[in-house]
Amino acid sequence: MSAEELPRLYRELASWWSLLSPPAEYDDEAADLLRKLAASGGPTSGTLLELGAGGGSLASHLKRRFTLTLTDKSPAMLDVSRTVNPECEHLVGDMRSLRLPRSYDVVLVHDAITYATDPDTVRAVLRTAAVHCRSGGIVAILPDHVRETFQGGTEHGGHDAPDGRALRYLEWTWDPDPTDTTYTVDYVFLLRTPDGAVAVEHERHIEGLFSRAEWLDWLAEAGFRPGADTDEWGRVVFTGIRTGRPA
């Protein structure tokens, strides 16, 4: 999708991001990711490029170890990240086609990879990762789900802001067609402004779902020595050491 076709959550609702997914919720996940990088034999410091960095909540913990370049297709989300990570480089770019004139020790694609809903798009993202990853560097890919272990369900949460705003959300994940490569996430947001008025927003996100074996094959095809491990929350974290030229 183009930047104009992005979900409203990443455009006109982006200013609410800190009440939906604040940096404080990513401390444990960042620590787990650093352990995965170390166990995979990759760098745990140096330079890091994040593709689809969004509001920068995960990056806010990684900048203690890395010099970060944060990219995203949404200018509004990068504006959010700049408030959290003012010392980091921020660039508008599509993770399928971004090309920068430098390479990095680590290339990270967090849950933004879930918006790759077909194999060609996944391959394009992995090519982008490969051309920006130095020889011996590492890529980390963190999809929310893989086909073998997919389970639907619901989550809820939200936070209050000092300025009087508040957000609450319901997230409903389900798979209407187990034979294809996507699943559906429906979000309902309750947004309260400082004057007490509450607006209700609903969005449907279509996200990609692939098997563990497919991910490993695509990483190898892109020039990585692939690996996979499970994080503390049961999600598969894919890593790859850069060994060859991208396909």
As a dihedral over the C-alpha atoms of residue 210, residue 216, residue 222, residue 227, rounded to 10 degrees, the angle is 130
Q: What is the pLDDT of residue 44?
A: 87
Q: What is the pLDDT of residue 135?
A: 94
Q: What is the pLDDT of residue 83?
A: 97
Q: Tell me how far apart the alpha carbons of residues 126 and 10 are, in angstroms, rounded to a whole number.
A: 23
pTM of the predicted protein model:
0.95
pLDDT tens for the chain, 247 residues: list them.
666 789 999 999 999 999 999 999 999 999 999 999 999 988 889 999 999 999 999 999 999 999 999 999 999 999 999 999 999 999 999 999 999 999 999 999 999 999 999 999 999 999 999 999 999 999 999 999 999 999 999 999 999 999 999 999 999 999 999 999 999 999 999 999 999 999 999 999 999 999 999 999 999 999 999 999 999 899 999 999 999 765 5
Question: How many helices (H) and strands (E) in the chain?
Answer: 6, 11
Please report the domains of the chain, with CATH numbers, ordered by start residue.
Answer: 3-146+210-242 (3.40.50.150), 148-208 (2.20.130)
Q: Tell me how far apart the alpha carbons of residues 152 and 145 are, in angstroms, rounded to a whole number.
A: 10
With tokens 């309750």, the residue in question is 190
Q: What is the pLDDT of residue 170?
A: 98
Sheet strand arrangement including 153-157: 153-157, 166-174, 182-192, 198-208
